[in-house]
Amino acid sequence: MMMHMAKEVAIAAAYEAGRYIKERFGSLLRIEEKDEHGDVVTEVDHEAEAIILSKLRSVFPDHAIRSEEAGDDGKQSEWQWLVDPLDGTNNFAAGLPLFGVSITLMRQNEPVLSVIYEPITDRLYTAAAGEGARCNQLPVSMNPSRAFTKAKVGWIQGHAVQQREEAVQLRHYIDVSTKRMMRLWAPTLQWSMLARGDLDAIIVYHSEGEDLYSGILLALEAGAAVTDFEGNPFSGAADQPCLIACHPDRLPYFLNMLAEGMKH
């Protein structure tokens, strides 16, 4: 009963925040530098966040919340909401229609509910632990392994990574070894592409943030394998993990690619 309510509230919050974001897209913004790495924040981030937090707190006042702009509310609970009200702020601020809303419910550091909404395409992705993944209420799953000469891979890295030598070398190797390496600067959009089979893999390099676990749960429930760079299954929560997500049949292929790339 609680999980059903949580899903309904999260969906309503994502829709309302997403509609507001879409209305503001393309308008004049007050843009502020968020940190020394070039990340930015706008008033739309704050307003969308306020919409989501208000809805969550009105129904689940005892749950802990960690949100992109407001931070950790300091509450102690086995339940914690992770909120990124505008995943892809840099794209939004630059007029690129590549952004989304991410809401995750964690229970004892494990993701149990994921809601991702893409306002421009009006796609709502949901996943609950053990219940599969859906897009606009229709089931989605990764395609069975298909032959490819070169794969399409999404790259997600943490804000603090920047041009770290190891990251640059690995990115370059992946770029020349694949058909296309995508860096959308909106991680949840890449996770949704993986879930519906439009990407063959996602590589996460020391990433962090409130949007990470919504994507991981969506991928898992769509049938992906999610492991560390050694092939160990990933579970729980970790600080800035390095991960590979792909169809289970293709895991050896991508682990080998990573191993080769780390040598260069």
Residue 112: the pLDDT is 97
Look-up of token digits 């770029």: 175
What CATH number does residue 125 fall under? 3.30.540.10
Q: How many domains does the chain have?
A: 2
In percent, how much of the chain has pLDDT > 90? 74
pLDDT bin (cut points 50, 70, 90) of residue 21 is: very high
Q: What's the pLDDT score for residue 146?
A: 64
**127 and 195 inside one domain:** no
Is pLDDT larger for residue 49 or for residue 70? 49
Per-residue pLDDT of 105-122, as tens digits, reads: 999 999 999 999 999 999
Q: Are residues 86 and 11 in the same domain?
A: yes
Contact 22, 119 (CB under 8 A): yes
pLDDT at 44: 93
The confidence score (pLDDT) of residue 159 equals 76
- Full domain range(s) for residue 206: 152-263
Summarize the confidence of residues 42-65 as an average pLDDT: 96
- Residue at a domain's end among 140, 162, 177: 140
Q: Which of 117, 140, 163 is the last residue of a domain?
A: 140
CB-based contacts of 71, cutoff 8 Å, min separation 6? none
Start-to-end C-alpha separation, the chain: 51
- The answer to whether residues 80 and 196 belong to one domain is no
pLDDT digits (tens, 9 = 90+) for 137-196: 999 998 766 667 789 999 998 877 777 788 889 899 999 999 999 999 999 999 999 999
Confidence class of residue 259 from pLDDT cuts 50, 70 and 90?
very high
Gap between the Cα atoms of 93 and 81, Å rounded: 26
Predicted confidence at residue 145, as pLDDT, reads: 60
Count the Cβ atoms, other than its own, within 10 Å of residue 200: 25
In a shared domain, residues 114 and 181? no
3-state helix, strand, coil in the chain (%, to 5): 35, 30, 35
Are residues 135 and 156 located together in one domain of the fold?
A: no
77 shares its domain with 163? no
Tell me if 219 is assigned to some domain: yes
β-strand pairing of 138-140 with 243-246: unpaired
In the block, residue with structure tokens 């550091």: 109
Determine the average pLDDT of the residues in 63-86.
Answer: 94
Q: Residue 38 above 60 pLDDT?
A: no
pLDDT, position 138? 97
- Whether residues 6 and 88 share a domain: the answer is yes
In a domain, 120, yes or no: yes
Rounded distance between C-alpha atoms, residue 242 and residue 24, angstroms: 34
Mean pLDDT of the chain: 91
If asked whether residues 218 and 89 sit together in one domain, one would say: no
Question: What is the predicted pLDDT for the residue at 240?
Answer: 79
The answer to whether residue 122 sits within a structural domain is yes
pTM over 0.75: yes
* β-bridge mates for residue 102, sequence order: 84, 116
What is the CATH number for 177?
3.40.190.80
Write the CB contacts of 184 (distance below 8 Å, at least 6 apart in sequence): 88, 91, 98, 154, 190
- Are residues 175 and 239 both part of a single domain? yes
> Does residue 15 register a pLDDT over 80?
yes
Same structural domain for residues 35 and 131?
Answer: yes
pLDDT(41) > 90: no
* Per-residue confidence (pLDDT) for residue 149, from 0 to 100: 76
| Residue 147, domain member (yes or no) | no
Decide which of 114, 140, 166 is a domain's last residue.
140
Annotated binding site for Mg(2+): 68, 84, 86-87, 211
Residues contributing to the annotated binding site: 68, 84, 86-87, 211
> Does 74 fall in a domain?
yes
Do 98 and 156 share a structural domain?
Answer: no
pLDDT over 90 at 246, yes or no: yes
Burial group, residue 176, by CB count within 10 angstroms (0-12, 13-18, 19+): exposed
